[in-house]
Amino acid sequence: AYINVIELQRRVLGAEHPRRIASLNDLGELYLKQRKYAAAEPFLREALNSQEKDNRHTWVRYNSESLLGISLAGQEKYAEAEPLLLSGYKGLLQRKATIPWERQSALKNRAEWILTLYENWGKPDKVAIWQEQLQFPNPALASRAHPR
């Protein structure tokens, strides 16, 4: 039923409409909460691609990016997930003031996912960095941990 709403939004509002992107993210996030990582991927990828077309740099865009990273990490696609999780987290951290209060927990959640990624991937040096980041959030530390 929710998928039908997303399709209707595409026809009525257009594929890149912010409300439709929010619906794609919401459905993807619902699948993530159910640990249906592969099911979430196409919705989250579409949400991110739509925002990249418009060159949007809002907290929502970085939320989409990090959610897609979670989907890939959950599927053990660590190399593909890492840059999305890191860039998404950094973008969210830089836009923290614009994130609605009810979504502020996304920052800690994304840092926890980055830590989990490195634990599951067997990268103890990066695990240590992200354990510190969870205790003391620091944009400079997030940048230092980014592979680029």
Full set of structural domains in the chain with CATH: 2-145 (1.25.40.10)
Sign of the torsion angle spanned by Cα atoms 2, 47, 96, 73: positive
Reported as a pLDDT band with limits 50, 70 and 90, residue 7 is confident
Task: Give the tens place of pLDDT for each residue, 44-103.
Answer: 999 999 988 877 789 999 999 999 999 999 999 999 999 999 999 999 999 999 999 999
Q: Is 62 helix (H, G, I), strand (E, B) or coil?
A: helix
Report CA-CA distances (Å) from 78 to 14, 22, 120, 143.
33, 25, 9, 19
The DSSP output letter for 105 is H
Q: Region 121-136: what's the mean pLDDT?
A: 90
Cα–Cα distance measured from residue 141 to residue 19, given in angstroms and rounded to the nearest whole number: 33
Q: For residues 64 and 78, what is the distance between their CA atoms, to the nearest angstrom? A: 17
**Cα Rg, the chain, nearest whole Å:** 15
Three-state secondary structure along 107-144? HHHHHHHHHHHHHHHCCHHHHHHHHHHHHCCCHHHHHH
Q: Give 89-98 pLDDT, tens digit per residue.
A: 999 999 999 9
Q: Cα(59)–Cα(65) distance, rounded to whole angstroms?
A: 10
Place of tokens 């927990």: 105
Q: Is the pLDDT of residue 148 over 50?
A: no
pLDDT tens-digit series, residues 15-27: 888 899 999 999 9
